[in-house]
Structure 1
Amino acid sequence: MPRTARPGRRTALAALSSCLAVACASGDLPQGPQGQEPPRSPGATAPAGDGVVTWASSADRVGTAADGRGYRLVVHTSVGGTGLRVRLSNAFGDRPVTFGNVHAGLRRDGAALIPGSNRRLTFGGARSVTVPAGGIVYSDPLPGYVPAASALAVSLYVPRAQGTRTGHWLALQTSYTTDGDHTAEEGAAHWTRRTGSWSYLDAVTVRPRPEAGAVVALGDSITDGWHSTTGLNRRWPDYLARRLRESPTANVKGVANEGLAGNRVLADGPGQSALNRLPRDVLPLPGVRTVFLFQGVNDIKAEPGATAEALIAGYRDLIHRAHASGKCVVAATIAPFKGWREWDPTGEAVRQEVNDFIRTGGEFDAVTDFDRVLRDPLDPERILPAFDGGDHLHPNDKGMRAMAHAVDLESLDCEGG
């Protein structure tokens, strides 16, 4: 794919230590002395140089908070490392929320954990923490190694919470809820209610060895994984994470999925716009080298739809802010969506003009042509039937895999600014 002349840095990766196999088999996250760190303000970052994001999701409003509720949230790590931290968010809450106990362990199956893997997390050395409305908090680092590609279960007990609950509704992963505090239990007996959303948890970080960076996929429902298979981690960022893990030369290993269904670049709608959530969902995440922008179709098919000039101006704003934060921006062309109920020739003309800017404007650090990958050669305004999830907009698992395999891995390891 064409790239601008913004050179990237390259470092060779050492082979992973053989001890990782032991850690993966045992699931052990041993206890030890905890660091001291106060709760963090909205949009705050983890301490400088402290790790790399291994999992993340975009925050939004997901319903009403409730006292005395437990959540066992299952997430999939992209890069392994020590010193696990979780980031808990009350970004959309209108009242404080108290986390009474928080544990992290490795899932065996269902809501059951691998015996011996469940460990308590602390916050400034304390077992509980109260996060104000609009705030976030990072836990202290947890000693022990968390493997890449592991099913991590973060169990939260929320004794006091009212008003709006912050989370991510389209998890495409089964998590579990309960009444009361059962966070320390590794069995599934009390975790009988299922949920397809994540609550409060919006990022997990680790310290990789050897050192590695991360990429954030900033997008809408396609990046969020809509029409990929639930529970199998077949969103295109998941496939990208697999490629990065298997690459002997890639120095970016962490992948954060900040896709949000219905999201737009310019205007708030389902969730805050990409420009408005950039300071919370993207820029503060530790270890991020590159923002991978794949967004714009919802702006085009809105009523009234955005013009090409407005959307390009939004891209330029995002590029400027990411570069000012020292991050590169890789962009993907907007995929075809003819056959979707909101498609029309006017919107198609905007898509073509925007894609021409992405391909030839020279303002992004690199470009991946998702339009070319997904379109039907016999009707380029439509998604290829073999990649169509059924609604002519969202790719299926095969389409998600094709997207990930179109990304130039070297383009993700660069220096922005």
Structure 2
Amino acid sequence: MRAGLARRGAAAAVAALLCVPVVGSAGQARTRHDPAAGAGRHFAVTWAASADRQGAGPAERSYRLVVRTSVGGDALRIRLTNAFGEHPVTFSSAYAGLQRQGAELVAGSNRRLTFGGQRSVTVAAGETILSDPLPGRLAAQSNLVVSLYVTGAQGPTSGHGMAMQTSYATSGDHAAEEAATNWTDSMTSWYWLDAVSVRTSTATGSVVALGDSITDGWASSTDANRRWPDYLSRRLQAAPDSPVRGVANAGISGNKVLADGAGEAALRRFDRDVLSQPGVDTIFVYEGINDIKAHTGVTVDDLTTGYRELADRAHAAGKCVVGATVMAYKGWPEYDAAGEAVRQGVNEWIRHSGVFDAVVDFDRITRSPYDRQALLPFLDSGDHVHPNDKGMQAMADAVDLAALRCDR
């Protein structure tokens, strides 16, 4: 469904989420062969945000979470996670609607979600659950709003700390409301919601971008969807012949390939955050700078062994895998000659090893022609490691869209 259809006014927006009975089974991960999808159809991830352990979440509170879709389709489903919780958490009500502005929704768009036919669901510690499909179409490039009323929350929550997107919260159950009146608390994190999928043609797939703060969008403009995967999503929507339409962002700020810290290591979270997503054709691996600059003695062999394992696991699952070179970071406080030598060695391996089905040379695209160890100032946010909005766009523009599909 073309992105432009999302802007045909309130009537079209209301029609995007139809109010009709829902069917389906909660908690079961669907694949492209899921019979519920129908012949020639499958579920594909349209939005994602990798979860990590967050602080304690207050009980009896509603959360209004604003997310941006990529691929369009019907039968919207959300995935709720309690992966890092230590106690069960109950979602007493859940709704999906379309954003008008701020916490206000398009009139008539807010629709109740169910789980196994029930309006309320309790998710055990360490578990995730899928909602029933919500009939009706959801356009690509829509501002989807998921409203949750959470009860019985204790201890750590599961969520995504750095959303670069304003969402909202309030005391009590206001999930069904479309007005913004009661949504007085703003926040820049997503809680419990970690993925949204839609049903689309089996000829259409998604790409998951596995990464750190650069993929997560740090230093890009808040509420503007200017992370590099967002720019990539817009490019894919503008390319009618591209079979890859969905983009899921699996970046976590501070994340490493090899070691836990800011989120579980990429090698540990790969199955949950990447392979479990439905309709994924391609995995885009751009990570490693945090391993390098941590001064823990990580070598070229250490990192490339990690990359090889990620590629092998992706290929074993029948996915294409694209690797990207690690960008320059001279001027960052942790920069030193030893780390730079590792970065250069890792990049040469990425370019020439043949482990990846395709390679995007982010380093070459974004580095200064006057100092190859530093970012081009025009693309630098000012901290010398994170690109600004122009840098994010340059990264997305460097991706050969044809490289996102291979013959696996």
Q: Per-residue deviation at 1:306? A: 1.1
Give the distance between the partners of 2:280 and 2:148, measured in 1 at CA.
26
Amino acid at match of 2:340: E
Whole-angstrom CA distance in 1 between matches of 2:270 and 2:30: 13
Q: Which amino acid aligns with 2:393?
A: R
1:182 to 148, 160, 174: 174
Counting aligned pairs with the same residue, the percent is: 57
Matched, 1:215 2:201: no
Instruction: Tell me how far 1:18 sits from its aligned partner.
Output: 9.7
What's the CA shift for 1:39? 2.8
The reply to whether residue 66 of structure 1 matches residue 52 of structure 2 is no
Residue 6 of structure 1: aligned partner = none
Please report how far the alpha carbon of residue 30 of structure 1 lies from its aligned counterpart in structure 2 after TM superposition.
1.0
Structure 1: any 5+ residue segments left out of the alignment?
A: 1-14
Contact 1:290 1:413 in 2 (8 A): yes
Alignment of 1:4-403 (within 5 A): 26-28=12-14, 29-40=17-28, 44-45=29-30, 48-49=33-34, 50-208=42-200, 211-403=203-395
The number of equivalent residue pairs is 399
TM-score by length of 1: 0.93
Q: Which amino acid aligns with 1:322?
A: A
In structure 2, the gaps of 5 or more residues are 35-41
Find the residue that maps to 1:298 and give its secondary structure. Answer: helix
- Tell me the TM-score normalized by structure 2: 0.95
> 2 CA distance for matches of 1:217 and 1:22?
30
The match for 1:12 is: none
Counterpart Cα distance in 2 of 1:379 and 1:24: 51
**8 Å CA contact retained: 2:3, 2:140:** no
Contact 1:26 1:117 in 2 (8 A): no
Q: 2:314 is matched by which residue type in structure 1?
A: A
Q: Which runs of 4+ in 1 moved over 6 A?
A: 17-21
Contact 2:160 2:189 in 1 (8 A): yes
**Which amino acid letter does the alignment assign opposite residue 157 of structure 1?**
Y
1:195-236 C-alpha deviation (Å, 9 max, x unpaired): 000000000001135841000000000000000000000000
CA contact (8 A) 2:32 2:279 kept: no
Q: Tell me: higher relative CO, structure 1 or 2? Use CA pairs within 8 A at least 6 residues apart.
A: 1
State how far apart, in whole Å, the 1-side matches of 2:53 and 2:395 are: 29
Cα deviation, 1:345-365, whole Å, max 9, x if unaligned, reads 011010011000100111100
For the residues of structure 1 that align with 2:160 and 2:196, how far apart are their CA atoms?
Answer: 14
1: distance between equivalents of 2:281 and 2:356?
14
Equivalents in 2 of 1:83, 1:405: separation in Å?
31
